[in-house]
Structure formats: structure tokens, C-alpha cells
Structure 1
Amino acid sequence: MTTTTFEAAVTSAVVKLLLGTRKLKPGVAITAGDALGIEDQIKMGRHAVETNADVLHLAFRTGPAPALTDVVVFLPRDGLCHIQTGCRLWLSKAGNRGRVMPQPQVRGHFRLAPSEILHIDGKPADDLNDGLERASAWLARQVMRPDAVYDAAQYHIWSQAA
């Protein structure tokens, strides 16, 4: 699997994990590409404010063993952009829609709605580790399926936004 195919497959699977069967609408964008340095984060934040669109950036390691390495949330609010780096995907025991967990010291978590990223106060569980592992395993199963079909209309990919 090429790096580009891997990124597309993971991005599609992440959208499915977070939205289920619902479709993305204007107001939120999913981007995928390299890890963002501080200057790239500033550019992405400015772009999010200018377009008034929430952004979920999936950062990947490329090369012979490509991998999803980071999830970054950009939330433009009141002319400012709130940025959360080091986020991880989480899935409940029931296996319904996933969530985005910020770093442990950050309050709350995020839920992807079709047209925005919502900050939800509180954590969905006392112990998040099982949910983080469930999301990782679910994602691996989705990406490695040989019969997987990825719907380009379900997600947006920009290799580097800004």
C-alpha cells in the first residue's frame, strides 16, 4: 500500500469512525499529511479563522512503515483559533461513533458533527485506555480490509493545508 493510499484509507476510516454514515458538510474539513510544525499550525489556524471552518488534521509518518502519528483539532471561535495537538481516537464499548480525546490534562473531549467539531465537557469514561485501544484496533481492521471501498465524497484530503 503506497503512502498516499494509506493516508486516504485511514482518513476515510477516521471519518467513518467519527461520523458513522453521516456525510461531512461545509463548516468542517478533514486534512491529512505530514506532522505540522509550529509555523504550519499557525498557518492552519489562520486559514481556519479566515474560512470559519473547524479542521481535524491527521498527521502521518511516511516511508516504509507509514502510520497515523497525531490528530490535531483547530477550532476557530470569536476570531481566535483554539488548537489541540496530541489528540487520539477513542471508541466506546458499544462500538458506536468514536470521539477525539485531547491530551490527558485537557478538559473534555471532541465529537465530530457533520458541520462542526463540538467540544464536550467531561470525559466519556473514567479509564480511557480501553477506548483508545478499541479505536486503534477498529481503525486497523478497516484499513487492512482487502475489499474496502473508500468514498471520496465522504471526506476531504489536502496533503498540506494552509
Structure 2
Amino acid sequence: MPEINIKQILLIKPNSSSEGVLIGASSDECVRLLGKPDEISDYYSETDDDMMKLYQYGESKLYFLKGKLSVWDVLDSRIWVGQVNGRIFKIGDKLISGSVRPSDFRGLPITHYGGKSRNMGFAFASINEVKNDRTYLDSYFELLFNSKGVLFSICMGDK
């Protein structure tokens, strides 16, 4: 499976030139950098057998376990993903047209053609292992595209 370094997938407030939010950040740091969420609720994680806090920013969901950002799913353009002043992924971005089977998106390979992930159908997907320098984490980074090649979901999840 292809890989991406965790330091390349921060949550960023659109058009921000400041720092981004990394997995493991506190909920206070997220609010400071991304703004106040629209809603905060409790969420039971079967994987962790524990209660999490769910922060919703529009359609996007950030999950906190024991006060630390654990997983997230960006589903609208209120949050961008990537590196400040570097490669950015945002909802609505498009694959390069002209190819029936695109091979990559901004340096990440398209690994799946058609299917379902997290109960969402997709036409193209880039699913990548996440590492911190040389250590692989028990996480994945996923980009999902519709049949028109439009990015509609960016997810950092637990394996």
C-alpha cells in the first residue's frame, strides 16, 4: 500500500498561512486553529470501546479520544488538508481530466477504481498507509472521488 507521512496531512483553515492541526492535537488547539465547531457531541467508538467527543464543522467530523484528535473525516470545504504553504487537498478538487483511469492525484496514486468505503460509493480512491518518519501508524489516509473525478471525502481513519 502507498504511504504518506503524517506531517503532510494537517487540518488547515482555508487560506491560512499559520500552522495546521496534526493527529494527537488537543481539542483546545483545534478550536484555536480551526475556530469554534458548529456542534460538539458524545460518540461511542466500538473500535476503542470508549466514548469520544465529536466536533462537527459543517459536514466534517473530528473525533477526540481522551482529549486528543484521533480520526477525522473532511466532507466540505470549511477545512483543508495538507501542509501550510505546501500540497493541499480540498473538497471539490478534481482529478486531471482526459483519462478514463487516472493514475494519481497530486503525487498520491489512485489505488482503487469503483467501490464503497465507509458506506460511501466512489469511482476512484487513493488509500495510503500513514507513517511518522520511519514508523508506520495504525491509520490510513483516504481520498474519495465521484464519477466526475471530484474529491468529496478526505479521511484519516484507524485500521
Using the size of structure 1 for normalisation, the TM-score is: 0.26
Using the size of structure 2 for normalisation, the TM-score is: 0.26
Higher strand residue share:
2
